Amino acid sequence: MMIPRTLAMARGVGRRNAGSALSVVREVGEGGRQGEESVVGGRKEVSSERVSLSRKEWYKVVKSEMEAEGARLAARRARKARSSRMGPLDSVRRKVEARRDAAKALDSNNNNNNDDDDDEAAAAAARDLSSSSSSDEYARRGVWLTEEEVEERSGPLSGVVRRVEARRGAFEQQQQQQQQQERQQAEEEEEEEESKRWKKHQHGSTAHHPPSSKRSAKTTKKKGGTVAELKASGSTVTVGRLGAALGTGSESICATLQALGESVPKIEATKHAIELEVAELVAEALGVSLRIASRGRDEVAATSEVSAAALEAEADAVLEVARPPRPPVDGDAWMLLPHRPPIVGVVGHVDHGKTTLLDALRGASSSEEAGGITQRLAAFEVRGATFVDTPGHAAFRAMRQSTARALDVALVVVAADDGVKPQTLEALSLARDRGAAVVFALTKADKFENRLEAAQLRVRGELAAAGFATEDDGGDAPMVPVSAPLGLGLDELRETLAAHAEVLDLRADPSARAEGVVQDVVFDRHLGTCADAVVTWGTLRTGDRIVVGAASGKIRRLDPPEAGPSRPCRVVARLEGDFAAGDTLLVVPDEKTAKRIAKARLRARNKVVEPASIPSDDKIHVPLVVKVESNGEIDAVEALLASVPTSKVRIEVIGGVGLGTIGRHDVDLAATLGAPIFAWSVGVSGPDVREAARRAKVDLRRHSVIYSLLDDIKAHAASRLPPVSVTKVTGKLEVLRVFPLSSGDRVAGCRVSDGTIHRSDPLRLVRDGDVLHSDLRGAATLKRFKDDVTQVQKGLECGLGPHSPDMAAMLQPGDLIEAFQVVEEPASVDDLE
C-alpha cells in the first residue's frame, strides 16, 4: 500500500512528480528501504521496491500533497478566469501566479508538518516543483515570505506585473470616464427635452413663467465660451424667445438692447421683435455665442396649427422629387426633343359661341360624338392641337384646378355683340396666372358686316380698361374675328394658334415616365371610377404605376391604349386613396415611391385648418400680410383698415403692417397661416421669393392706389363669409278671375305682368304685399287656351292651377302670384356689416 505511483495517481500528476514524492518519502520515512532510480529517455523511473511508512506518516504525506494539488487546481481555475479579462500580457501574469501558488503550497506543507526535519523535505519538494526564480531560492533557503514580499523580491518580473496593473488601471479609468460622459450627455438631452416642453407650455398658456436653469434652451460649454442655439423661422426673433434661448430673463435682454442703442417698448417687451443680427450682438454682449438654425415644420406645429397651404406645399415638394429630370429649356438636350402639340383652353362666357366655334374647328358637332371619349372628356385633338373645353362660367371656375395647370394657350372667346363680361376678365386672369399665351376670338362677326371694325374697337377699349391690351394696342395677344356658322376666319385662327405654339417651342420626351393633369373624375357603371386626363410629358401606358392626388395604384385600362404628350385619355386604375380634378398624374418607378407621395398628399388634405373662427365672439378670423413702402403709408393703411366693418369678421394683420419689399420670411409666414400678401407700392425682393410664393400657393396682390388696396381687402374678407341665400322673383301673375271646376279644384285666369312663368317654378300667393301661402312644387296645370304649356311670356294670359288645395281656396281676383327661386350667392362687401 506504500506504492509511490499510487500516491502520484491520487494526486493526478505524472511520473516526474511521482519521483519527487518518492524523494520526500525517502527522507522523512523511518526504517524504510531506499528505492533505486534510473533515468530512461530523460524521465525518472522508480523501481518497484516498496517503501515502508507508518499509517500516521502516510496520512500526513497524502493530506499535504492533496492540499497542495488542490491549491494548484484552484490557482489554475483562477488563471483561466482572469485570462478572459486580461490583455496580451496574460502569460506573464500566469507565470507570476504560478510562483505564488508554489510558495503557498510550501507554506501549507510546512504548517501541517510539526517535525523540524520536515523543513528539508519541503525544501526538496520546492526544488522539484519550481524553476530558478528568486522566490524558489528563498524557499530553498527555508525563508518563508508573504505574497507582497515575494512580488517585491521577485526580480525583473516585478516591473512587468506593475506595468500590467498600470495598464489595467488606465483601462478601467478610461471606461469610467466614458460612462461619466454618457451620463452627462443623457442629462443634457433630458434638459433639452424639458426645455422644449416648457416652450410648448409657454406658447400654449396665458401665464408665462421664466425658464429655470434646466428649462432653458440648449447651451454647450466650449473652449471659447458658452454656445446657445436659436431656431428661427424668419429674419426676426422676439425678446422672449431670445431670452429663453440664452437662458436669461427678458429684463437682461432689454437692458442689453438699450445699451446697444435699440429702443424697446415698455409694454409687452417680450413680444418685441428684433433682427437676427441684433440678436447675435446681444448674445455676444452677454458672453454667449449664438448659433441660429432654421426652424422646421414639426417645431412650428408645436406652437400653432400648420395650415393646409403649408402642407400642400410640402406634398408638392415630395412630388417634385419623384418627377423625372427634365433638360433645361435653353439647353442643347431640349432642342433634341420632338415638338408636342399645344394644349389650348377655350374659355369665355356661356353665350359667346364657344361650343359652336369648337364644332367648326374640328368639323363635327357635339351630338355626333356623344358616346366618344373626347366628348366626355371635353378635349379634342384638332389638326396638331388639343383643345380643352371649359363650358360656362361655373365650369370654368371649377376647372381652375384642372385645366389651368395644363394650358399652353388660352383661346378667349368674346362675342362681338355682347363685349367683355366679368367671366371674360376672370378667364384672362386665369391665363395670366398660368403664364399661358392669349389669343382672342371675336365671335358672331357675321352680325356686324360693315360695323365689324367698330365692334372691334369697342371690345379692345373694354379690354384696355381692364388692363389687357391686344396686338393692335401694343400688347402681345392677337384678336381674330370669326364666324363659326359661316366658317369665316377659322383658317386665320388656326394659323395664329400654330404661330404661338412655334414661338412657345413646346417639346416633350415621349420615352420618359408620363406626367399629366386630371381634367375630370367620372364614374362608369362598367369600369368604375375613371380619371379623364391630358398627358403633358412622356407616354402613359397600361400597367404603369401612378400617383394621382392622395391615391396610388396601377393602370388596368387606358383609352387610347397609349397616350403620348398633349394627348387626352381615360385612365382606369385600381387606386387606393382619394383624388380629384386638377390633381397631377405621375408615373413612378416603384410602389414605395407611390405610397410615400400619396401619404404626403393625404396628410395635406386631412390637415385642413379652418383659419377662422374665434370661440370668444364667433367672428371669422381673416389673417393678412400687408407690406408698404413708407411709414406714412403704414399709418394710412391702419386707419383705413379700422374702417372695415367688424360685426362678422375680424381682420388681423400678422405682425402689423410691414415696411419694405416682400421677402422670403413674409412668404413663409403667409403660407403657415394660409393668408394672402397685400402690397402697396412695393414688389418682391427677388425672383426666388416669387417662386417660393408660387410653390407655397401664396396669393400675392400688388396695388398702386390705396383705395384699390382697401377694396381688395374688403373683397377678400367678404369671400370668407358663407354664401347668402337670395330669393329671386322670376315672374309675376295678376289673378283676373277664379274658375271652380267640377272636380272641386279651382283655377285662376291670369295675365303675366312681369318676367316669365315656368310651370316648375315655386309659387307664392301675395295680397296687399303680404305672402299668404307658398308652394315649392310649382303649378299643377299651366295652359294657354286649351293647350298645356311649360312657360308663359310677359303680357300673355294663361290658366294656372296650384298644387296646393289651400292656395287654390285662397285665390281671389286682384291677387298676385309670384314665381321665385332661392339661390345661394357669394357674400358681397355689403354683407360684412
Strand pairing category for 545-548 and 568-576? unpaired
| Interval 185-199 mean pLDDT | 61
- In percent, the amount of the chain with pLDDT more than 70 equals 66
Please state the domain extents for the chain. 4-155, 190-303, 318-329+510-606, 341-504, 620-719, 724-829
Of residues 352, 460, 456, 455, the one with CA closest to residue 396 = 352
- Better-predicted residue by pLDDT, 550 or 160: 550
Of residues 233, 298, 295, the one with CA closest to residue 668 = 233
Model confidence at 552: pLDDT above 50: yes
Helix axes 250-259 and 239-246, enclosed angle (nearest 10): 110
The predicted pLDDT at position 816 comes to 92
341-504 against 724-829: fold identical: no
Model confidence at 458: pLDDT above 80: yes
Residue 416: which pLDDT band, with cuts at 50, 70 and 90? confident
Strand pairing category for 816-825 and 724-740? antiparallel
Beta carbons within 8 Å of 15's beta carbon, 6+ residues apart: 5, 8, 43, 44, 45, 46
Helix axes 239-246 and 276-285, enclosed angle (nearest 10): 40
Our CA angle for 489, 495, 499, nearest 5°, is: 145
CA pseudo-torsion sign 160, 161, 164, 170: negative
- 542/179 Cα distance (integer angstroms): 60
Beta carbons within 8 Å of 10's beta carbon, 6+ residues apart: 62, 65, 66
Of 25-34, 73-82, 244-253, 496-505, the one with minimum mean pLDDT is 25-34
For 438, list phi and psi in degrees, rounded to 5: -120, 135
Of residues 563, 550, 485, 561, the one with CA closest to residue 521 = 550
Domain 620-719 in CATH 3.40.50.10050? The answer is yes
Our CA angle for 390, 605, 627, nearest 5°, is: 80
Q: pLDDT for 774-815, tens place per residue?
A: 887 888 888 888 888 988 988 899 998 888 888 888 888 989
- Better-predicted residue by pLDDT, 51 or 622: 622
Grid cell of 306 as nine digits = 400648420
3-state secondary structure of 244: helix
- 694/404 Cα distance (integer angstroms): 14
- 69/61 Cα distance (integer angstroms): 12
The predicted pLDDT at position 217 comes to 44
Model confidence at 690: pLDDT above 80: yes
Q: For residue 664, which amino acid is it?
A: R
The predicted pLDDT at position 331 comes to 83
| Interval 273-283 mean pLDDT | 80
The predicted pLDDT at position 81 comes to 66
* Residue 192 buriedness (CB in 10 A; 0-12 / 13-18 / 19+): middle
Residue 544: which pLDDT band, with cuts at 50, 70 and 90? very high
CB 585 within 8 A of CB 518: yes
The predicted pLDDT at position 750 comes to 92
- Better-predicted residue by pLDDT, 258 or 515: 515
Q: pLDDT for 310-338, tens place per residue?
A: 667 777 777 787 787 888 888 888 889 99
Which CATH superfamily includes the segment(s) 318-329+510-606?
Translation factors (2.40.30.10)
Other Cβ atoms less than 10 A from the Cβ of 243: the count is 22
For 700, half-sphere exposure in the C-beta direction (CA atoms, 13 angstrom radius) is 22
Q: pLDDT for 95-138, tens place per residue?
A: 656 666 766 666 665 555 544 454 444 444 444 444 444 444 44
Q: What is the DSSP letter of 130?
A: S
Residue 623's beta-bridge partner residues?
652
The class (CATH top level) of 341-504 is: alpha beta
Q: What is the DSSP letter of 607?
A: -
Model confidence at 682: pLDDT above 50: yes
Grid cell of 158 as nine digits = 516585478
E-assigned strands of 654-811?
658-659, 677-680, 700-703, 724-740, 746-755, 757-758, 763-767, 770-775, 779-784, 787-788, 791-792, 797-802
| Interval 355-380 mean pLDDT | 58
CB 95 within 8 A of CB 82: no
Other Cβ atoms less than 10 A from the Cβ of 419: the count is 16
The predicted pLDDT at position 677 comes to 93
Residue 678: which pLDDT band, with cuts at 50, 70 and 90? very high
For 778, list phi and psi in degrees, rounded to 5: 85, -160
Of residues 343, 500, 348, the one with CA closest to residue 427 = 348
Residue at grid coordinates 488563471? 79
CB 681 within 8 A of CB 706: no
- 362/372 Cα distance (integer angstroms): 14
Residue 50: which pLDDT band, with cuts at 50, 70 and 90? very low
* b/e sequence 372-404, b meaning 16+ C-beta within 10 Å: eebbbbbbbebeebbbbbbbbbebbeebbebbb
* Residue 690 buriedness (CB in 10 A; 0-12 / 13-18 / 19+): middle
Model confidence at 664: pLDDT above 70: yes
- 777/725 Cα distance (integer angstroms): 19
E-assigned strands of 391-527?
409-415, 437-443, 479-481, 515-524
The per-residue pLDDT of the chain, averaged, comes to 72
Whether the bond into 560 is cis, omega within 30 of 0? yes
| Interval 644-668 mean pLDDT | 81
* Residue 768 buriedness (CB in 10 A; 0-12 / 13-18 / 19+): exposed
- 375/367 Cα distance (integer angstroms): 9
Q: What is the DSSP letter of 339?
A: B
The predicted pLDDT at position 546 comes to 92
Model confidence at 253: pLDDT above 70: yes
CATH number of 724-829: 2.40.30.10
For 420, list phi and psi in degrees, rounded to 5: -80, 130
CB 411 within 8 A of CB 390: no
CB 107 within 8 A of CB 49: no
